[in-house]
Amino acid sequence: MRTALYLIKIKTAATSAAIALLGVGGIWYSQASPAAIVESSPADQFQKIALGNNFSLAHTLNGHSGSVWAVAISPDGKTVASVSDDRTIRLWNLATGEELHTLVGHFKAVNSVAFSPDGQTLASGSLDKTIKLWSVATGNVVHTFIGHLASVQSVTFSPDGKTLASGSWDNTIKLWDKATGEEIRTLKEHCDVVNSVAFSRDGKILASSNLFASTVKLWNVATGKEIRALVGHSDSVNSVAFSPDNKTLATASWDNTIKLWNLDTGSEYLSLTGHSNKVSSVAFSPDGKTLASSSWDKTIKLWNLETGQELGTLVGHSQRVWSVVFSPDGKTLASSSFDKTVKIWRMPQ
């Protein structure tokens, strides 16, 4: 694949800006970033923007007819799932980019998706207020969970695969028995939309964030009681993720920052800045050394968690990037966007 980068400086009486044009596989994208580009040489910018910790664009997955809200990669690293405004869930071959199945059953936009730890079941949350469990092998619906009074914004499985957590526009979190579809309990301490939920790696803690608040809550899964609230962001928190060693929580916010929190103390110990617009999601690499973040600035950034330094920026989406996830081996990233595509980024073999 031949890749070219051009820097064009545009100056007027009122403004001074630069536009980077990155050509990948014959398709061109533009990304305005005056602060990042004007002070750097073309060679430096190519290294930072195009390569980004050695990841490069491998596939663009086209098929959705609406914005793609979320992506997930199966535990065996073979399949990508994506969900969209077009009311479908699509399964793709991660290696080849080939579409495998289209799952149809929700009657409104699908907002969230998660694989069970054994990879046999897929959960999806929708604007239709339901959660559906799907058999990955057959594409059939196994259960439909009904209980939320508004859109389901986030779904996630516990590490043992027995429990599903969901966050909703009805301001609640619900815990469900995956085998029976029965509701275990409802957590009601949030004052507005719950847009992200995540289990700790030992399954004992649940983290959740609000769409219209700047706090993150930690919950005791066994009792349903709130453990503590993490306060530090100045705008909505859109995504939460636990580190593989279970010591750190990463949070992504509309204040354009990512914060890292010590789970033992509840204190913030690092703030990552570099995105020029809202940060929509965060994901840890399997070894816990790298964090990926996606943003409304149309980019994905990679961060060294030992130093807090930005490793690189992946440019390719033409609209807001809403979700990013690592493969189990850490060598592949999948991202989804308002541009109706899923992109697969890969490290060299």
- Which tens digit of pLDDT belongs to each residue from 169-180? 999 999 999 999
- How does pLDDT run across 28-82, given as a tens digit for each residue? 223 333 222 222 333 333 334 444 558 999 999 999 999 999 999 999 999 999 9
Give the range among 57-71, 115-129, 210-224 with minimum mean pLDDT: 210-224
Q: Which residue intervals of the chain are DSSP H helices?
A: 34-37, 42-45
Asked if residue 107 has pLDDT above 50, the reply is: yes
Note the pLDDT of residue 22.
31
What number is the average pLDDT over the span 115-143?
Answer: 97
CA dist 322 to 67, 218, 278, Å? 9, 23, 10
Contact predicate 126/111, CB 8 Å: yes
Contact predicate 187/176, CB 8 Å: no
**Over the chain, what is the mean pLDDT?**
86
What number is the average pLDDT over the span 219-238?
Answer: 94
What number is the average pLDDT over the span 114-133?
Answer: 98
Mapped to the 3 state alphabet, what secondary structure does 189-216 carry?
CCCCCEEEEEECCCCCEEEEEECCCCEE
Note the pLDDT of residue 15.
33
Note the pLDDT of residue 53.
59
Question: Which SS3 state, helix, strand or coil, does residue 61 take?
Answer: strand
* Separation between Cα atoms, residue 56 and residue 227, nearest integer Å: 40
- How does pLDDT run across 136-146, given as a tens digit for each residue? 999 999 999 99
Q: What are the sequence ranges of the domains in the chain?
A: 3-40, 56-346
- The band of 271, judged by pLDDT with boundaries at 50, 70 and 90, is very high
* In the chain, % of residues over pLDDT 70: 84
What number is the average pLDDT over the span 116-140?
Answer: 97
- The band of 270, judged by pLDDT with boundaries at 50, 70 and 90, is very high
- The band of 192, judged by pLDDT with boundaries at 50, 70 and 90, is confident
What number is the average pLDDT over the span 119-142?
Answer: 97
* Separation between Cα atoms, residue 77 and residue 79, nearest integer Å: 6
Phi, psi of 334 (to 5 degrees): -120, 140
* Separation between Cα atoms, residue 151 and residue 167, nearest integer Å: 9
Asked if residue 13 has pLDDT above 60, the reply is: no
Can you give the pTM of this predicted structure?
A: 0.84
CATH architecture of 56-346: 7 Propeller (2.130)
Asked if residue 252 has pLDDT above 90, the reply is: yes
Cα 253 versus chain centre, distance: 12
Give the range among 3-12, 97-106, 253-262, 263-272 with minimum mean pLDDT: 3-12
Asked if residue 286 has pLDDT above 50, the reply is: yes
* Separation between Cα atoms, residue 342 and residue 81, nearest integer Å: 10
Note the pLDDT of residue 191.
66
Task: Characterize 293-305 residue by residue with b for buried, 16 or more Cβ atoms within 10 angstroms of its Cβ, and e for exposed.
Answer: bbbbbbbbbbbeb
What number is the average pLDDT over the span 279-292?
Answer: 97
Question: Which SS3 state, helix, strand or coil, does residue 46 take?
Answer: helix
Note the pLDDT of residue 190.
65
Note the pLDDT of residue 21.
31
Give the range among 4-8, 54-58, 124-128 with minimum mean pLDDT: 4-8
Note the pLDDT of residue 348.
77
247, amino acid identity: K
What number is the average pLDDT over the span 290-297?
Answer: 98
Asked if residue 7 has pLDDT above 80, the reply is: no
What number is the average pLDDT over the span 203-228?
Answer: 92
